[in-house]
Amino acid sequence: MSEQQLLLLAADFVLIVHVAFVAFVILGLIFIYLGLFLKWRWVKNFRFRIAHLAAITVVVLESWIGMICPLTTWEMALRESAGDATYSGSFIQHWLQSLLYYSAPEWVFIVCYTVFGSLVLASWFVVRPARKSKEN
């Protein structure tokens, strides 16, 4: 396997991790509220809830300070190193990028991330996380 192929493979892997992160944030909130109605105990797991809140907090803070996501930066650096300036690569790459990267004014993203982050924060009051008992 050539160095270029390895770099593109690494870039695709970073893209998959990025999509998984986005899915965790979005689906996590959906499952938290669904869990309220379907009485799923796992959505109250404290570690899951902390990880979920931390993930959206990072996204909101990045948007407020105008920072590009490090995963995006890393993926683009790998693609550039491989000499791949476009997104004409693999099937997975094409579709995952179509889902992840879209165009809108910056303020739209800031508002969306902030509203979504507020919904995650509200979920801490609507669907309270379960604390472990002191006996465990």
Provide φ and ψ at 45, rounded to 5°. -60, 125
Burial of 108 (0-12, 13-18, 19+ CB in 10 A): exposed
Q: Where in the chain are the domains?
A: 3-126
pLDDT number for residue 136: 41
Question: Among residues 47, 24, 53, 22, which one has the least CA distance to residue 125?
Answer: 53
The Cα–Cα gap between 97 and 91 comes to: 10
pLDDT number for residue 107: 87
- Answer whether 89's CB lies under 8 Å from 12's CB: yes
pLDDT number for residue 48: 97
The Cα–Cα gap between 49 and 32 comes to: 9
Tokens representing 20?
């998984």
pLDDT band at 135 (very low <50, low <70, confident <90, very high): very low
Please tell me the least confidently modeled range out of 29-38, 51-60, 64-73, 89-98.
89-98
pLDDT number for residue 90: 46
Residue 37 has pLDDT above 50, yes or no: yes
- Answer whether 123's CB lies under 8 Å from 33's CB: yes
